[in-house]
Amino acid sequence: MNIADLQQQAEEMVEWLAAYGADPEGGVTRLLYTSSWIEAQQAMDRKMRAMGLDTYYDDAGNLFGRIASEDPEAGTILTGSHVDTVKCGGKYDGAFGIIAGLLALRYLKETYGPPKRNIEVVSLCEEEGSRFPLTFWGSTNITGTAPTDHIAQIRDSEGIPFVEAMNKAGFGLGHYRSPLRKDILSFIELHIEQGAILEREQTTIGIVEQIVGQKRLTIECSGEANHAGTTPMGWRKDALRGASQMIVAIMEAADRRGAPLVATVGKIEVEPNVSNVIPDKAAFTLDIRHPQGDVLDAFCEEAVAICFAAAQDRGLQVKVNQHLDVRPVGMDASLLRSIETICQAQGLPYRLMPSGAGHDAQIMAAHYPTSLIFVPSHRGISHNPAEYTSKEDLAAGVQVLIRLLYELGYEKETIS
Ligand code: HGY
Ligand code: MN
Ligand code: MN
C-alpha cells in the first residue's frame, strides 16, 4: 500500500464530503433529512459503488457499502460513523469514520477478494441531535433501541415534524429493508479525538477503553409577558430571568462537583424575544456527562431540583424533558488488545484513553463487541470549522482499520 497515495485519498475525500452542506463561513451543516443530508447520502452511495462496494439503504436512512462473503450464513463486521453534523461543524467529525471505512473496504476487496465474513461500512443517518431533540437515530435503529414512540411528538426548531421530514426524504415508509440487524459480529468506529490529549502527547492512535455516560434535557420556563417599562421588578414573572438563575446555579453546582463531570447549556430559545417585552417563555438545553452512571444520575437530579426551586422563587411554571440517557460503556477488551498489537506491529505511538464525546460506538457496544479508535484533533478543536486532522494521522488511522478488518473479516474467528 502506498502511504502517500492513502494520505492524499483520505484528505481529498474529506474535502469531497465537506462540500455537501458547506457553510459560507467555512463550516459544514448537514442536518438529518435536509437537502444537504440527502445530497451527501446520494453522493456517498455513488462513491461506494464507484469504489467497488454493493450498496443499500435501510428504512431509517442508514446507507451501507458491503463486500460480501461467499458464505451465505456468514455474519457481518461493521465499521463506519455518522454523516450528519452539528450546525457549522467541522469536516472530520463522523465523516472521517465513513471515509476510512470506504478506503479500507476498497483496499481489502482489491487485495484479498471476498472475505470469510461480510464486511460493511455504514454512513449512519444521524448521531448529533442537531436538528431534532433526538440522538443516535442511526445506531439505535440498527440495534432496535430507537425511541420510535418519541418521534411522533418531536419537531425541529422551525416546527417541522420529525416523521414528515423523514417521509419527505423517502424513509420511514417501508421502501427499504428494516434497520434492525441481528447479523453484526462486531462494530469498529474510527473517529477524531475531539480533544487535545493525543496531539499534546504526540501520539497517533487513541484506543478508547470507555465512553462517558450522557444525559440531555430541555428545561422550559413559562412566566408572563408584560411591558418592560411599566412592570415593577417585583411584579414580574420573567421566564428568562428564571432560566438565567437556573443556568448559573447549575454551572456553579458543576464547578463544585468538579472534573470529570461536564455540564453544558448549548441552546436557549426566548419568546417573544423582543427588547421591550418581559419574556414569558425561555427554554434551554442541558447536556451532562460523567464516566460513572450513579454520579451522572445524582447530578442530574441536583440540576432538576435547582430548576424547580428557581421556578418557585420566580413564580414561574417549569417543565423538564429528558430526551437522552445513555449509560457509560466499556469497549470490548479483546478488540482493544488486537488494536494494541496492530499499533505495535505498525510502529504507531498509541495510548488507551476514555472518550468524553458521545459516539455511535456506545450504542452498538451494548449489543455487539465494539471498539472506538481515535486519531488526533489539531489543538483539540471540534464542532467548529477549525476542526483539523493531518493527512498523516488520517492515513495512520485507516491503516489500523484495514488491519483490524482484515483480521476480523478474513482471518480469525470473530468474537461471536
Ligand atoms: O456530543 C457529542 O459528544 C458527539 O459529538 N455527538
Ligand atoms: Mn461524532
Ligand atoms: Mn459530534
Q: DSSP letter at 25?
A: T
| pTM exceeding the 0.95 threshold for the entire prediction | no
The x, y and z cell numbers of residue 378, run together, are 489539531
Please say whether the beta carbons of 133 and 150 come within 8 A.
no
Shared-domain flag, residues 180 and 253: no
Ligand 1 nearest-atom number relative to CA 289: 3
DSSP symbols for 45-110: HHHHHHTT-EEEEBTTS-EEEEE--S-TT--EEEEEEE----TTB-SSTTHHHHHHHHHHHHHHHH
In a domain, 308, yes or no: yes
Q: Is 128 in the pocket of ligand 1 (CB under 6 A)?
A: yes
For the purposes of burial, counting CB atoms within 10 Å of the CB of 289, is it exposed (0-12), middle (13-18) or buried (19 or more)?
Answer: buried
Cα 382 to averaged position of ligand 1 atoms, centre (Å): 10
Residue-level pLDDT at 25? 84
Ligand nearest to the CA of 82: 2
Shared-domain flag, residues 46 and 193: yes
Residue-level pLDDT at 1? 83
User: Which candidate, 196, 191, 194, places its Cα nearest to that of 207?
Assistant: 191
Residue-level pLDDT at 416? 44
Mark the ranges of the chain whose per-residue pLDDT is less than 70.
Answer: 412-416
- Domain extent at residue 345: 3-211+328-411
Shared-domain flag, residues 229 and 362: no
Cα–Cα dist 413/24, whole Å = 48
Cα 31 to averaged position of ligand 3 atoms, centre (Å): 12
In a domain, 416, yes or no: no
CATH of the domain at 290: 3.30.70.360
CATH of the domain at 60: 3.40.630.10
Give the model confidence (pLDDT) of 330-359 as tens digits: 999 999 999 999 999 999 999 999 999 999
Q: Which residues lie at CB < 5 A from ion ligand 3?
A: 93
Cα–Cα dist 332/285, whole Å = 32
In a domain, 262, yes or no: yes
Q: To the nearest 5 percent, what fractions of the chain are helix, strand and coil? A: 35, 25, 40
Shared-domain flag, residues 30 and 175: yes
Q: Is 361 in the pocket of ligand 1 (CB under 6 A)?
A: no
Ligand 1 nearest-atom number relative to CA 383: 5
Please say whether the beta carbons of 281 and 220 come within 8 A.
yes
User: Which candidate, 283, 262, 154, places its Cα nearest to that of 212?
Assistant: 262
User: Which candidate, 241, 283, 285, 242, places its Cα nearest to that of 263?
Assistant: 285
Shared-domain flag, residues 205 and 228: no
User: Which candidate, 347, 355, 386, 346, places its Cα nearest to that of 373?
Assistant: 355
Shared-domain flag, residues 178 and 282: no
Residue-level pLDDT at 290? 97
User: Which candidate, 191, 201, 208, places its Cα nearest to that of 349?
Assistant: 201
Mutate to test the pocket of ligand 1, among 30, 127, 323 (most ligand atoms within 8 A of CB): 127
Cα–Cα dist 193/406, whole Å = 24
Shared-domain flag, residues 353 and 292: no
Phi, psi (degrees; rounded to nearest 5) at 73: -90, 0
Ligand nearest to the CA of 135: 1
Residue-level pLDDT at 412? 67
Total number of domains constituting the chain: 2
